[in-house]
Structure 1
Amino acid sequence: MNTSALKTDPNFHEAGRRFFRDFSPGDEFYEHLIDAHNGLSDEQSEALNARLILLLANHIGDLKVLREALQQARAAG
């Protein structure tokens, strides 16, 4: 599988914002994700992750991209 052609490559952007390093927006998302989990129990944190996965999958809406993401996530773990 040619990983450079996958649609699951990071695509973080905000209209009107310019980032000088490709990873900056991803780092900012990670900080927001960690903040969302602050103060939650393990069970609440797992539920938050489950809801977030379903919301993002619904937003992406492309089954091919979602399959690729699942494959990459499973292979990485």
Structure 2
Amino acid sequence: MIIEDNLGHQGDALYSALMQTHDGLTTNQSHALNARLVLMMMNEIGNPDTIIALMADARALTQPGVGPFGA
């Protein structure tokens, strides 16, 4: 997992674009959008080992107070 900022100055704009993508959606629509986006990104990455490792990392970071993001 890459922890360093790979997006640079574009990170804030991309986060804003992500939030705007969810504007006006219901909670269920927002969850569906997230699922579609994850599947599209998995296809773009294209490496099953990388994807499985990222899923494990994301799961571990979801625990309160764990990881570099202090989730």
Segments of structure 1 that go 5 or more residues without pairing to the other structure are: 1-7, 13-21
- Indicate the structure (1 or 2) with the bigger Cα radius of gyration: 1
The CA distance in 1 between the partners of 2:12 and 2:53, in whole Å, is 22
Greater relative contact order (CA < 8 Å, ≥ 6 in sequence): 1
The TM-score, its normalising length taken from structure 1, stands at: 0.69
Identity over the aligned pairs, expressed in percent?
A: 38
Structure 2 stretches lacking a partner, 5+ long: 63-71
Match of 2:37 among 33, 45, 52: 52
1:64 is matched by which residue type in structure 2?
A: D
SS in 2 for 1:67: helix
Paired residues, number: 60
Match of 2:59 in 1: 74
**Alignment partner, residue 61 of structure 1:** 46
CA distance in 2, matches of 1:59, 1:44: 22
Q: Tell me the TM-score normalized by structure 2.
A: 0.74
Q: State the Cα RMSD in Å.
A: 1.4
